[in-house]
C-alpha cells in the first residue's frame, strides 16, 4: 500500500495537471470562437457560389472547362485533413478511420489511390505504415487562411488537369456544434457545378442566361475560385472542429482530475487515520507494559 507521502505527491501532480488542462480549455475556447466566426461567415458564400454555378451549368456548356470533364476513373486522390497537434479527443482518429475505410472501398474497385496529407497526424499515420504520400502539408494549426487554401487547391487543379489523377475527394470533420462533429467525404473534382453544397428550400425557375463574354470565360474565372472556396471551407471546418474537440477533451480531463483528487484525498485520510490509530495502540500498549 502507498505511503501517505506518496499519495500526497500524486495529489500534487494531479493538481498541477488539472491547472494545465483548465488553461488549455480556456485557450481552445478562445480559438474556437474565432474559428467558428470565420467558418460561419464563409458558409453562405460557399453555398451561394455553388448555387450560381448550378444555375449557370443549366444554361451553358457543362464541358466548357477542364475541371468539369469527367474521365473514366483509374487513379483517385484522397485529401485527408487532420491536426498538427494531439490532445483533441477522437478528432484525428475519426478522420483517419474514415479515410482508411474509404481508401479500402476505392481499392476494392481496383482503383489506384494517392494520399494528400494535410496535417502532421495524417502524415505520421501513413509514414508509420510505409504508405507513399503524394503531397504533405504540416504546420498549419492556427495559420489557416485563404492563401493556404489557394496553394492546396492550385496543386490539386494542376495535377488534375495534367491527368495525374481522375478524381479528388476531401476527408474532413464538419462542425455541427461544440460536442458534435461529423466526418465528411466530399468529391472535389471533377467539379460538379450542378450539385450545390446546400439545396435551397424552393427550386427557382430555370432562367435562360445570356453569357457575356461567354460561358467558357465565366467558368474559367468562377470554377477555380469555387474549388479554392471548397478547400478553404474544409480547412475552416476542420480547424473549428479541432478546437471544439480539444476544448471538450480538456474539460473532461479537468473533471477526471478533480475526481482523482477527491478519491486520493479520501485514501490519504484513511491512511492518516490508520497511522494515528496504530501509533495510539503502540502508546497504549507501552503504557500497559510499564504498569506491569
DSSP class of residue 203? P
Nearest to 174 by CA among 191, 156, 186: 186
Residue 289 designated active-site: no
The span from the CA of 270 to the CA of 108, in Å, is 60
Determine which one of 49, 88, 247, 271 is catalytic: 88
Nearest to 169 by CA among 150, 192, 194: 192
Q: Would you please indicate which residues are annotated as catalytic (active-site) residues?
A: 88
Amino acid at each position: 500500500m502507498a505511503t501517505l507521502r506518496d499519495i500526497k505527491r500524486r495529489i500534487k501532480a494531479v493538481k498541477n495537471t488539472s491547472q494545465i488542462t483548465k488553461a488549455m480549455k480556456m485557450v481552445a475556447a478562445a480559438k474556437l470562437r474565432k474559428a467558428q466566426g470565420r467558418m460561419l461567415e464563409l458558409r453562405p458564400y460557399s453555398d451561394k457560389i455553388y448555387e450560381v454555378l448550378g444555375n449557370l451549368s443549366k444554361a451553358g456548356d457543362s464541358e466548357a472547362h477542364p475541371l468539369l470533364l469527367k474521365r473514366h476513373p483509374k487513379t483517385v486522390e484522397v485529401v485527408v485533413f487532420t491536426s498538427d497537434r494531439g490532445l483533441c479527443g477522437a478528432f484525428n482518429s475519426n478522420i483517419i478511420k474514415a479515410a482508411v475505410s474509404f481508401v479500402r472501398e476505392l481499392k476494392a474497385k481496383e482503383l489506384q489511390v494517392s494520399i494528400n496529407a494535410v496535417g502532421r497526424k495524417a502524415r505520421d499515420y501513413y509514414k508509420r505504415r510505409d504508405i507513399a504520400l503524394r503531397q504533405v502539408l504540416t504546420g498549419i494549426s492556427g495559420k489557416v487562411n485563404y492563401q493556404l487554401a489557394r496553394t492546396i487547391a492550385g496543386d490539386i487543379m494542376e495535377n488534375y488537369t495534367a491527368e495525374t489523377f481522375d478524381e479528388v475527394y476531401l476527408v474532413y470533420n464538419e462542425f455541427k456544434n461544440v460536442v458534435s462533429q461529423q466526418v465528411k467525404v466530399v468529391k472535389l473534382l471533377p467539379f460538379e457545378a450542378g450539385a450545390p453544397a446546400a439545396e435551397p428550400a424552393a427550386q427557382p425557375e430555370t432562367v435562360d442566361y445570356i453569357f457575356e463574354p461567354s460561358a467558357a470565360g465565366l467558368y474559367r474565372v468562377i470554377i477555380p475560385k469555387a474549388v479554392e472556396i471548397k478547400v478553404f471551407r474544409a480547412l475552416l471546418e476542420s480547424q473549428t472542429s479541432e478546437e471544439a474537440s480539444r476544448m471538450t477533451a480538456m474539460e473532461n480531463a479537468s473533471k477526471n482530475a478533480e475526481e482523482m483528487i477527491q478519491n486520493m484525498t479520501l485514501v490519504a485520510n484513511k491512511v492518516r487515520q490508520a497511522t494515528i490509530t496504530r501509533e495510539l495502540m503502540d502508546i497504549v500498549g507501552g503504557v500497559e507494559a510499564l504498569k506491569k
